[in-house]
Chain A
Amino acid sequence: MPSHFLYSTNVFLKLVIQERFRNDVHYVWCSESFNPSKLNPYSIKSMIAPSSSPCDIYNEIKNALTRNDRHSDKINNQKLSFKNLADNWEAGGEITKEQRDEIYYMTENATSNDWRPLIYIIPRAIFDGSSRLKTVAPAKRASFGVEYIIEDLSRTEFDLIEL
């Protein structure tokens, strides 16, 4: 039975970038369980690798910030990801060069507060009957568990929490 909610962990800076430069429309990678390690180990829902587990991602970033380590793997990945997104959007004519530069500047000068992780909670029912919830190709997943992509999540379609 599908979960009622989908979960995604993203840093605060991503929320801001999508809000300011993408009309508050969000691109998220999500899964059906916040903490797959707590599930029945024989269930496919539990087969989400730590690198894709919203709970593990959240804790990894949180712990890095507690240690004052803004060069952790996850944060470094995020830095490159934001620069890449900016280049991608500019190449597609979706943002201007000035906006691309602003995203670069914000990424390079982000503080610990900007890197703090947030949990997005997304009601699954809003995708019933639509093709907006896309399944990540098995070869692209970190493990066997199903992962999803939502490319056009409106800010009104999810809640945010911090632990």
Chain B
Amino acid sequence: MLQTLKNRSAQEARKVLAAASATVLPQPFDVDFASRYGTTEEAVNSVLSEIRRNVGVAPNDHSRQAQSKIVDFLSETLSETTFAEADRTAARARLGQRGDLSLGLYEIRYVEDFNERLAESGLRKSEVQKTAKDPDAFEHLKPITFVRDKNRSISFLVKNFLTGSNSYTALIVAERSDFFLEVDSAWKIYHDEVDVAQKTPHQIFKAFLDIYGADIIMGGKTKKYFNHEMVSQNPNETKKTLAFEALQEHGADYYGYVESGGSDNADFLEVFQAYMINRSKYKDSLRRHGTLVK
């Protein structure tokens, strides 16, 4: 903490530092920054003088190197003084939830039974980790949700593994919550089975569901994929229910994902995501391509 700011309130310190920053940065017009930020020229000059002493720059040194040292010190001091760790974490969480955070700043984690799902995906753990850490493309769904009771959104990450005729794309479906990406499932999508060319990660997932997804009937609609849609609940019941039916092949094994939100007694629920993947058909495809799978 700068000595010249020691006896000032946090709010006053912010004003002085903001004015000092504006003073050292190139400005196109003459502005009285001290007044603009609600502080005094004396306070600003005191701070700048102390910074010069701290970084070892003479009062009359206006060289580029001197300027650079002052700017660097001011920038760090601004953050230390006016940007608390709790605020930093909260900002990161908000950016992450919105999908506006750089991918490297998300924390990757895996659902509890992911190892079992991995065993049935045909992918190696290293391939999933590579896809999560260094994807070729990713897409954060940023829907306009009608229901706010769940702080969860979906992100897709993909990585191509080009191995000639057996080339495939590893696709991860992750739940995004604050700055966490929780890997829920991973799929090995062969290029000779699903056309992935010129497609975004979400489009690749939809193309995958076109082939391996089962038809789902909800709220009078029949589709392979529900993505942030309002679905009507059964009317005329004392307790409203979300009617769900999947047209499954007899004897086939399915991986299902259904997440919804809203009030139980409302006429409509928001279905965040709903799909049913024919895992038997998927594994047959893996085996045809020489992939060993459980």
Smallest distance from the beta carbon of A135 to chain B beta carbons, Å? Answer: 9
- Docked Cα-Cα span, A106 to B25, in Å, equals 20
Q: Which residues of B contact A84 (CB under 8 A)?
A: 18, 21-22, 25
| A83-B21, A87-B21 given; A137·B28 CB < 8 A | yes
Q: Does B126 contact A (CB under 8 A)?
A: no
Chain B CB count within 10 A is highest, among A77, A114, A147, for A77
Chain B CB count within 10 A is highest, among A79, A80, A102, for A80
Q: Does A22 contact B (CB under 8 A)?
A: no
Spot the interface stretch: B46-54, B99-107, B193-201.
Answer: B99-107
- Docked Cα-Cα span, A102 to B88, in Å, equals 8
Contact indicator A140/B29 (Cβ below 8 Å):
yes
Q: Does A132 contact B (CB under 8 A)?
A: no
Q: Does B181 contact A (CB under 8 A)?
A: no
- Docked Cα-Cα span, A51 to B112, in Å, equals 54
- Chain A 100-117 against B: per-residue CB contact (8 Å), 1 yes, 0 no? 011011101111011000
- Docked Cα-Cα span, A111 to B91, in Å, equals 17
Q: Does B237 contact A (CB under 8 A)?
A: no
- Chain B 5-28 against A: per-residue CB contact (8 Å), 1 yes, 0 no? 000000000110010011011111
Contact indicator A137/B30 (Cβ below 8 Å):
yes
| A83-B79, A88-B18, A101-B83 given; A140·B28 CB < 8 A | yes
Q: Does A160 contact B (CB under 8 A)?
A: no
| A73-B68, A83-B21, A87-B14 given; A111·B104 CB < 8 A | yes
Contact indicator B28/A136 (Cβ below 8 Å):
yes
Contact indicator B28/A101 (Cβ below 8 Å):
no
Smallest distance from the beta carbon of A157 to chain B beta carbons, Å? Answer: 19
Smallest distance from the beta carbon of B15 to chain A beta carbons, Å? Answer: 8
Contact indicator A76/B72 (Cβ below 8 Å):
yes
Contact indicator B75/A83 (Cβ below 8 Å):
yes
Q: Say which residue of B29, B83, B88 sits within 8 Å of A137 (CB atoms).
A: B29
| A20-B100, A111-B102 given; A104·B30 CB < 8 A | no
- Chain A 125-137 against B: per-residue CB contact (8 Å), 1 yes, 0 no? 0000000001011
Q: Say which residue of B74, B83, B91 sits within 8 Å of A80 (CB atoms).
A: B74
Contact indicator A147/B28 (Cβ below 8 Å):
yes
Q: Does A154 contact B (CB under 8 A)?
A: no
- Chain A 62-98 against B: per-residue CB contact (8 Å), 1 yes, 0 no? 0000000001010011011101100110010000001
Q: Does A29 contact B (CB under 8 A)?
A: yes
Which B residue sits closest to A73, measured CB to CB? B68
- Chain B 74-106 against A: per-residue CB contact (8 Å), 1 yes, 0 no? 110011001100011011101100001010110
Q: Which residues of A contact B94 (CB under 8 A)?
A: 98, 102
Which A residue sits closest to B87, measured CB to CB? A101
Smallest distance from the beta carbon of A94 to chain B beta carbons, Å? Answer: 14
Contact indicator A80/B25 (Cβ below 8 Å):
yes
Q: Does B294 contact A (CB under 8 A)?
A: no
| A91-B37, A140-B26, A140-B29 given; A102·B91 CB < 8 A | yes
Q: Does B288 contact A (CB under 8 A)?
A: no
Q: Does B209 contact A (CB under 8 A)?
A: no
| A77-B71, A80-B21, A83-B75 given; A98·B91 CB < 8 A | yes
Contact indicator A91/B83 (Cβ below 8 Å):
no
Q: Does A25 contact B (CB under 8 A)?
A: no
- Docked Cα-Cα span, A73 to B38, in Å, equals 29
Contact indicator A102/B28 (Cβ below 8 Å):
no
Q: Does B64 contact A (CB under 8 A)?
A: yes
Q: Does A11 contact B (CB under 8 A)?
A: no
Q: Which residues of B contact A153 (CB under 8 A)?
A: none
Contact indicator B102/A101 (Cβ below 8 Å):
no
Which B residue sits closest to A141, measured CB to CB? B28
A121-163 residues at the B interface, CB under 8 angstroms: 134, 136-137, 139-140, 142, 147, 149
What are some 12 contacts across the A-B interface (CB < 8 A)? A29-B26, A76-B72, A77-B26, A77-B71, A84-B18, A87-B37, A87-B82, A98-B94, A108-B88, A111-B104, A140-B30, A147-B28
Binding site for B on A (CB under 8 A): 20, 29, 71, 73, 76-77, 79-81, 83-84, 87-88, 91, 98, 101-102, 104-106, 108-111, 113-114, 134, 136-137, 139-140, 142, 147, 149
